[in-house]
Amino acid sequence: MTDLDQLALDPTNPAAVEQLLRHARAHATTIIRSRLRRHPYLVEDVVQDTVIATWTCLPRWRPDRPFLALVTRIAVNMSVNALRALRPTVPLESVDFGLLADDAPDLADIAAVSDMYARAQVAMQTQLSDVDHRLLRLRFLHALSSVEAAHVLGLTHGAARLRQHRALKKVAAHVH
Q: What is the 3-state secondary structure (H, E, C) of 10-47?
A: CCCCHHHHHHHHHHHHHHHHHHHHHHCCCCHHHHHHHH
Domains and CATH numbers, the chain: 3-86 (1.10.1740.10), 105-175 (1.10.10.10)
Nearest Cα to 149, choosing from 161, 158, 163, 139?
139
Q: What's the pTM value of the predicted model, to 2 decimals?
A: 0.52
Tell me the per-residue pLDDT of 69-126, one tens digit each, with 9 for 90 and over: 999 999 999 999 999 998 888 787 777 777 666 666 777 777 777 888 788 888 888 8
Tell me the per-residue pLDDT of 11-36, one tens digit each, with 9 for 90 and over: 778 888 889 889 999 999 999 999 99
Rounded to whole angstroms, the Cα distance separating 166 from 174 reads 13
Provide the terminal-to-terminal Cα distance of the chain, rounded to the nearest Å: 37
Residue 60 is given by DSSP the state: G
